[in-house]
Amino acid sequence: MMNLLVNIDHVATLRNARGEGYPDPIEAAEVCEKAGASGIVFHLRGDRRHIRDEDVYRLKKSVRGTLDFEMAATDEMIDICKEVDPHLCTLVPEGREELTTEGGLKMESVFDDYKNRVFPKLKETNIEISLFLDPNPEDIELAAELGANAIELHTGTFANADPQKRRHELTRLRKGAKLINELGMKVNAGHGLNLDNLPDLLETVPHLHDVSIGHALISKSVYWGLEKTVKAYLEIMEDYA
């Protein structure tokens, strides 16, 4: 079964641009779920540039489907995540100057810290742990060694590739998904996906469980409205279910 999770970060970005209380990301999440989305994604960043702490707790009360807490693996975020108790936390790299997450975790550099500090804290809960990775076999194997429940494949390189390189990136994603599945983890995917490139991904990459889409979906909804936009993505996904 393949699920659409909608990232509502940039509803909060628009709200924060004027310092007003609208548009409300919690209301956006409710509209997305009513339109058929299986859940909601948010990224609470260290600088609180879009989602804020109060949004997180309101989302926990409001969201009826899967709630995916994207975060850097800092002690602060781990503590908040454990208190909020979402269904899923997705650990991502986070740079202060980046506009958006620019690539997957480099597992060799974070492995010891994740093994000794991060995973023991999160394993005290029932929260599933997903790691945001590029489709590199070495990274995927280290994630399995840690005991990750899922891998979210970073699809941004595919999404931004020119036509010649796109097929190569799809091949990497397909191989990565097969390995993740063989190692007993869920295959999730996200970053840079839109109405134009999503069909190629779904046609090529097997075992997809959760597909997270945010910026492109929220942007299109400025013209179409959230309900119509969510349903357009779901129609594509139903063709490949």
Active centre residues (catalytic):
43, 70, 191
In the three-class reduction of DSSP (H, G, I as helix; E, B as strand; rest coil), residue 154 is classed as strand
Position of tokens 């929260």?
A: 127
Phi-psi map region of 205: left, alpha, beta (phi>0 left; psi -120 to 50 alpha): beta
How far apart are the C-alpha atoms of 106 and 24, rounded to whole Å?
34
Q: Give the Cβ contact number of residue 183 at 10 Å.
A: 14
Closest CA to 46 of 84, 86, 92, 82: 92
Q: Give the Cβ contact number of residue 11 at 10 Å.
A: 28
